[in-house]
Structure 1
Amino acid sequence: MKKPSQSNWFSGLLALLFSLLLFFNANSSGNLSNMSGTSQVYDEMLYNIPVQLEYDQDKYFVSGYEETVNVHLSSANRIQLNLESNEDTRNFQIVADLTKTPLGTSEIQLRVKGLSTAVTAEIEPKTITVTVENKVTKSFEVEAQLPESIETDGYKVEKTTVSPKTVDITTGEETAKAIDRVIAPLSNVKQSVDTIKQTVNVQALDTKGQVLSIENPAPQVKVVVELSLPSKEVGLTISPTGSPPANIEHYTFNLSEQKVEIRGTKSVLDAIDTIEIPVDVSNIKTSTKQKIKIPTNADYIVSPEEVEVTINPVFSGTSSSFSESSGQSTTTSYSNQELPSPLPSNEKPANSSSSSSSSSSSSTDSTGEEGVENGSSSVSAN
């Protein structure tokens, strides 16, 4: 039989062993956890990072290289990686050292400069091709290059002014020898303009019309081109609108102008033969004169911009109207109902011309004598 003191001693030793085992097991798990936490690596892909060239800019001109590259960053330090990924806080640059590069075309290795030691970078591509020349500056006369649409749309160029007429071009020595002409390329213009005013960067071209590399930014010139727009004469037609009084059978309309001139691009002019003028006859019971602006839009210019219309009502049961004008006129008959509201200036009913002309003969027969007396032609409308 064991003594009580021996039993207590054994139990204490056993408890100590279990305590030590639990202690070392806990520390080992914590260390493993820390090791697994520090082994995680974060990645960021950056695009269009500019390439910085290191060379004597006063002596040499460099061209023909890719100005941006992509950079793959990785780090176990998420905070540091975010700093280098952000354009506003990054410290690194992608550089190409050309200080010892000979004249001509060479392939240059790119390197990362100023990157945190906690972050690694991989450049794509790793090299660029550059052409190094002696730097020169020469004067060239500038000519304006008009967009092809000018000729296509039928414009006639009256006068072209380029200011300044000559510019200094800085480029490589061999590139300067290849310059055939220097142009000021104009961008396309809106329709129905008679003057182009643009400030543009010049371009240097070789004999094949290819654009050559020159200093950036390139010299600027101001170009003014005066144009003559294509024009044609078109007729005017009346489109009564509104709610006429109940006792009015029809109206006659005297126009101060039967035709107007429109100016615009050839394609626009080809699509227009007549312009419809909306005339509101609401509550008109006596001969009335109105000045009405001719409908137009941004596609063409009209001259004159407005015409005078004399509106003469003809009452039911009578054969004459209150005509106070000796100008040419047209007569419009209608059923006693509300006429359409005025159309916007850039809208035109597709069947207005055909219905107006097709009904002309019937109205002429019924009011022939009146037309002879007043010198008017007749147009009926349903």
Structure 2
Amino acid sequence: MMKKWVEGPWPYRIFALFLAILLFGYVNIDKINTTRQTDNNTTQMLATRSETVKVPLQINADTDQYFITGYPQKVKVKLSGPNALVTSAVNTLNFRIIGDLTKLSTGTHTVKLKQTGINKEISVKIEPATIKVKIEKKVTKNFPIQVNVNEENLATDYSIGNPKLSQDVVEVSGAKSAVNAVSQVIATVDPAKDTKKDISEEVLLQAVDSAGKALNVLISPQTVNVKIAVTMNKKALPVSLEKTGAVSGYQYTLTTDTQNVTVYGKQQTLAKLSSLPVTVDLSDVTSSTTKTVKISLPDGVYDSSPTSIKVKVAVTSDGNEASSQSSTATTSASTSTASSQSESTSSSSTDQSSSSADSSASTSQSTTTE
């Protein structure tokens, strides 16, 4: 019986049916998948979804005339509705949350927020639903910029020059009470640790009151470029010329065309210096000349500019020596005059003696004749 069934047509019929089913499934598999996907998409579109996003708050007001404070920059919006519509709204954010202040004047007001641009089929919940704002008259003033530099971050024995700004004055606008409270507009520069190089950076400005508290005002522009030269501590000192090794018998007058010398070093050392001594060695100078003298640096001073100066040395003979020579000459002349007078007196005495002798002889002869 079994043998007849196996050898009969039924096995072939069953195999052919199986092949037919496989062929049918292969041909219609794409349609089946498409139908399933369509069903899934339809299910997703019909399903509801809730999503919360943060969006900017738009304030409608006359900002040229009024300054508004107290409102948040962003608010939370909860969207609930058909999945496709919510997904589209979340992805595009093509809607706005608005606080309308156009009909309000100065003072404090509570304003209800509204939305626009969201599909009506979506349920919207805004958090917060209302905001409390303060509307004040807007004023504008100009303020100079003050630069504060954290000099503790400079390298040891380095200091800064005068800051140079892209602009020196900025415009500050805001509520009248806030602008009137502005004491200064500050650009704070915080250089890197152990800075030795010049500083050049874009700095955010801040308006503060007399206590240093930041104020809620608008600054235009908000940033400025600050450039500051960083150099080793320096100080310009007047030159003080000092003599050493002067040769006896000469007088010296020292002058120089270099009136000041810039020295570099420790801040504490420079603060104590009021002049820079420059010692000129005169041990080999007996006539007027010009000497190049190297500058000797005090302790705590690392360098100078220039490192040497030219000193003019005017030389004259000592006046005491000339006076001594004149006295010696006068003494010699006096001695010579005295000798001449003595010789003259002696000669006169001799002549007088001779005359007396001749007179005596004449008298004697006269007596004899008588």
Q: TM-score range by the shorter chain?
A: 0.3 to 0.5
TM-score (norm 1): 0.45
TM-score normalized with structure 2 length: 0.47
